[in-house]
């Protein structure tokens, strides 16, 4: 292997990185300026996440990763961040209770801007323009000027990421995440829904258990895990110029960390072994996830894992399977079997969103909640039958009451409802009700597996 540097990716082919900035000098200026900006996360935090993910890889914890498909400048608001944070906290409570294992919380947040697109162009009413590629590249408005890549957007995305992280840190350690507050995490608009009622019942049980623990002397004051939480950030490491600028040597270990997020992932469309994205990711110490889908052969997967994690460190690699509900049972078993047999340590996670996107006759991109759930269930069944731990889920979701995915049992979103609150900048997201409903269903599945394992141990 040639020597890795933060810029060694530049000599390799790459996909989905814009090459049509009209003013390259300006881009270089912005990237140079970013190199002097403070890190967004610390190396020690990324190491802590890796240790938590090692627990997931070893079947001792569960990973909940979620957030917007694409963050946007327009939807940037403290209320939206709070709503996302609290719906993830609710889901984590439900999953912790059901699985009886700690839940590692990772947001698709504070940097999830750049998007790979299935087509480089978009056509509307006979007019063709370059596609929207995420707010850190160009604008969503359908006019020529907006669609020109503008390097200044990288600085704005950095600023938004920093402010987002600041608020997330305050939410997770400043008292809001205290387990005594679980009742308060219920979202205003969802206060009457079936999911919220289920959640309230669970809160009662947990509060009773906490009263008991408190009587025994275990309080949020004496036990920091009860008064604060760990919340980590992640995004697709797509724009390598930005990632390079944020990559710094950690003074305690002398190793390279990408300080733009705790965890980065390589998209399904940019995971070619000999391309730029894999090259960049092999040199950083952060935990790295790889989206895997149809077409990936098991021998190539092993090569990818080895390239990114030559020391086979547990917690370094998360494999995010995104096959679609009809295909996961066909393709995943062989990969799980081969990875297990090879002894490579990985976290298995399920993205039930990207393989289940459909277009309605009215032109809306959507995803049926039933198919999302069905993929998660199949994913869990496959991994269980291969004796692997179905370690996590990866959702595109929001704390808002949007109408982007079809179905859900609390307040059913029908095809004719999609247009009422369809706000996403890219793919359709689960709304808070739908996300919580899925958390309950997954918790149930995990609870069943827990019972089954205990039963097996008892005989």
Which parts of this chain interact with ligand PEP (CB under 6 A)? 69, 116, 236, 267-269, 291, 322, 351, 354
Of the two residues 133 and 322, which places its CB atom closer to ligand PEP in the complex? 322
Q: Note whether 289 binds Co ion by CB under 5 A.
A: no
- For Co ion, which residue of 27, 34, 69, 168 counts as binding (CB under 5 A)? 69
Of the two residues 316 and 394, which places its CB atom closer to ligand PEP in the complex? 394
Of the two residues 47 and 394, which places its CB atom closer to ligand PEP in the complex? 394
Strands 62-67 and 103-108: parallel
Q: Rounded CA gap, 149 and 136, in Å?
A: 9
Q: Note whether 383 binds Co ion by CB under 5 A.
A: no
With CB under 5 A as the contact rule, which of the stretches 68-76, 270-278, 281-289, 384-392 interacts with Co ion?
Answer: 68-76
156 binds, among ligand PEP, Co ion, none (CB under 5 to 8 A by kind): none
**Interaction with Co ion in 400-439: which residues (CB under 5 A)?**
427
Q: Note whether 55 binds Co ion by CB under 5 A.
A: no
Q: Cβ-closest residue to ligand PEP?
A: 267
Give the 3-state DSSP-derived string for 174-211, with helices as H, strands as E and coil as C.
CCCCCHHHHHHHCCHHHCCCHHHHHHHHHHHHHHHHHH
Pair of tokens at residue 354: 């990207």
Write down the least CB distance from residue 40 to ligand PEP, Å.
Answer: 20
Q: Rounded CA gap, 154 and 134, in Å?
A: 10
Q: Rounded CA gap, 118 and 56, in Å?
A: 32
Of the candidates 277, 243, 258, 246, the residue with the CA atom closest to the CA atom of residue 16: 277
| Residues contacting 61, CB < 8 A, separation 6+ | 52, 55, 101, 102, 103, 104, 391
CB-CB neighbours of 128 under 10 Å:
8
Write down the least CB distance from residue 69 to Co ion, Å.
Answer: 4
Of the two residues 275 and 384, which places its CB atom closer to ligand PEP in the complex? 275
Pair of tokens at residue 299: 């021998």
134 binds, among Co ion, ligand PEP, none (CB under 5 to 8 A by kind): none
Of the two residues 267 and 392, which places its CB atom closer to ligand PEP in the complex? 267
Binding-site ranges for Co ion (CB under 5 A): 69, 427
């Amino acid at each position: 292997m040639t020597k890795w540097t933060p810029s060694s990716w530049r000599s390799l082919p790459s996909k989905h990185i814009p090459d049509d900035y009209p003013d390259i000098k300006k881009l270089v200026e912005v990237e140079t300026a970013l190199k002097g900006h403070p890190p967004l996360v610390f190396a020690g935090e990324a190491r802590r996440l890796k240790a938590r993910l090692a627990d997931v890889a070893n079947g001792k914890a569960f990973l909940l990763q979620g957030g917007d498909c694409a963050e946007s400048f327009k939807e940037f608001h403290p209320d939206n961040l709070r709503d996302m944070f609290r719906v993830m906290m609710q889901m984590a409570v439900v999953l912790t209770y059901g699985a009886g294992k700690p839940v590692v919380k990772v947001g698709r947040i504070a940097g999830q801007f750049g998007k790979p697109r299935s087509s480089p162009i978009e056509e509307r009413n006979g007019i063709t323009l370059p596609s929207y590629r995420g707010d850190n590249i160009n604008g969503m408005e359908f006019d020529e000027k907006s669609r020109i890549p503008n390097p200044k957007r990288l600085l704005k995305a950095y600023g938004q990421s920093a402010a987002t992280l600041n608020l997330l840190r305050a939410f997770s350690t400043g008292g809001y995440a205290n387990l005594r507050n679980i009742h308060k995490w219920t979202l205003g608009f969802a206060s009457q829904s079936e999911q919220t009622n289920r959640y309230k019942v669970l809160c009662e049980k947990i509060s009773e258990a906490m009263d008991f623990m408190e009587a025994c002397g275990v309080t949020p004051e004496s036990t920091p895990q009860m008064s604060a939480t760990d919340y980590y950030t992640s995004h697709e490491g797509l724009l390598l110029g930005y990632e390079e600028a944020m990559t710094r040597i950690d003074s305690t270990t002398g190793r390279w960390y990408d300080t733009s997020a705790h965890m980065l992932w390589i998209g399904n469309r940019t995971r070619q072994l000999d391309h730029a994205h894999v090259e960049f990711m092999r040199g950083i110490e952060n935990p790295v996830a790889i989206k895997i889908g149809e077409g990936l052969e098991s021998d190539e997967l092993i090569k990818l894992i080895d390239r990114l994690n030559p020391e086979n460190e547990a917690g370094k690699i998360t494999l995010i399977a995104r096959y679609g509900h009809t295909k996961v049972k066909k393709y995943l078993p062989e990969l799980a079997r081969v990875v297990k047999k090879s002894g490579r340590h990985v976290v298995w996670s399920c993205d039930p969103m990207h393989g289940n996107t459909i277009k309605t006759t009215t032109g809306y991109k959507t995803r049926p909640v039933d198919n999302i759930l069905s993929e998660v269930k199949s994913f869990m069944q496959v991994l269980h039958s291969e004796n692997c731990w179905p370690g996590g889920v990866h959702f595109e979701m929001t704390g808002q009451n949007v109408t982007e995915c079809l179905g859900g049992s609390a307040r059913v979103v029908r095809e004719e409802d999609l247009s009422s609150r369809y706000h996403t900048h890219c793919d359709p997201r689960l709304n808070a009700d739908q996300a919580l409903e899925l958390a309950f269903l997954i918790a149930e599945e995990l609870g069943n597996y827990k019972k089954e394992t205990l039963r097996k141990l008892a005989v």
